[in-house]
Amino acid sequence: MPPRRPYLLRWGRFRLELGRRTAILGVLNVTPDSFSDGGLFLDPEAACRQGERLAAEGADILDVGGESTRPFSSPVPAEEEIRRVVPVIAALAPRLSIPIAIDTTKAAVARAALAAGASLINDVSALRFDPDMAAVAADHGVPVVLMHMRGEPRTMQLDTRYADLLGEIRGFLASAVKSAVARGIPRERLILDPGIGFGKSAEQNLALIARLAELADLELPLLVGPSRKAFLRRLLQRPGEGEPSPRSPEVEDATLGAVAAAALFGAHIVRVHAVARARALLQVIDALAAAGPDGPAPPPARQRPQP
């Protein structure tokens, strides 16, 4: 495992050191139709309990989303997205010591979520879908995740051909960074996501994780989100049978394998649904990295934040 370049994200009351250990972005979908847990946390009280659980299990950031971005999904109106996420964020923000990310492509949703207590924007469109999103991020001084995706969730799986997979992803992300900085977002507050499962075939997702180190020259933290995704379920599919359920034990095990590989190949942050299992895995991965001949000093033990 090559040593990861360290980064320090510092904004508001938050400070996140990246590189010495792998940070965890815990997923909280407040949606009726997400591929993995749609409907489980649509009720605000259930969502708040899950958010507190993920924080207690060791999440470094909580990622709250009110619109599914699974393949072939359609967008929901901003008003509905706000109705889903704002009560949950407003209830959780005073209770948690970790930052809350709003997972959205809409400036109006991001603005409402930030007003309610969110402090990071996770935009799968890399600021492309809404011309006002960059201004919202810049005005609030929050970090932004820029993700690679061709097209939109409704169309992204219709054409997954690439002449140069890593080259095209690198070029897209470099251009997204340049645009974000030109629109007022400091470079040191950007995080890059190569977009596992967004406009890629199963084989391309595997190649992207295996070749993640090739994106290190973009010189920004890398976030990888393989959790429970279709390329893992297809790997596990037995002849004559359907894909296993996203929440099945074997898919969780497969997710951990992808998370381990992502961390070993250079991910600074991983996005997962099952935080406790990922936390235990990453404590081993990070300790092994620190024990290597070129590894950093041993990472500090992950403390479970108090709700």
Amino acid present at 20 = R
Q: CA geometry: angle at 296 spanning 290 and 301, to 5°?
A: 60
The one catalytic residue in 84, 111, 271, 279 is 271
Active site residue 271: yes
**10 Å Cβ neighbour count for 129?**
16
CA distance 73 to 79: 18
Burial grade of 241 (CB within 10 A; 0-12, 13-18, 19 or more) = exposed
Which residues, 6 or more positions from 221, have their beta carbon under 8 angstroms from its beta carbon?
Answer: 7, 9, 18, 19, 191, 192, 268, 269
Strand partners, 278: none
Active site residue 229: yes
Max CA pair span of the chain: 53
List phi, psi (to 5°) of 203: -65, -40
Supply the angle between the helices 249-264 and 275-291 in degrees, to the nearest 10: 30
3-state secondary structure of 147: strand
Q: What residue has token string 């007022």?
A: 184
The one catalytic residue in 229, 233, 279, 302 is 229
The pair of three-digit structure tokens given for residue 62, joined into one six-digit string: 């909580």
Which residues belong to the active site? 229, 271
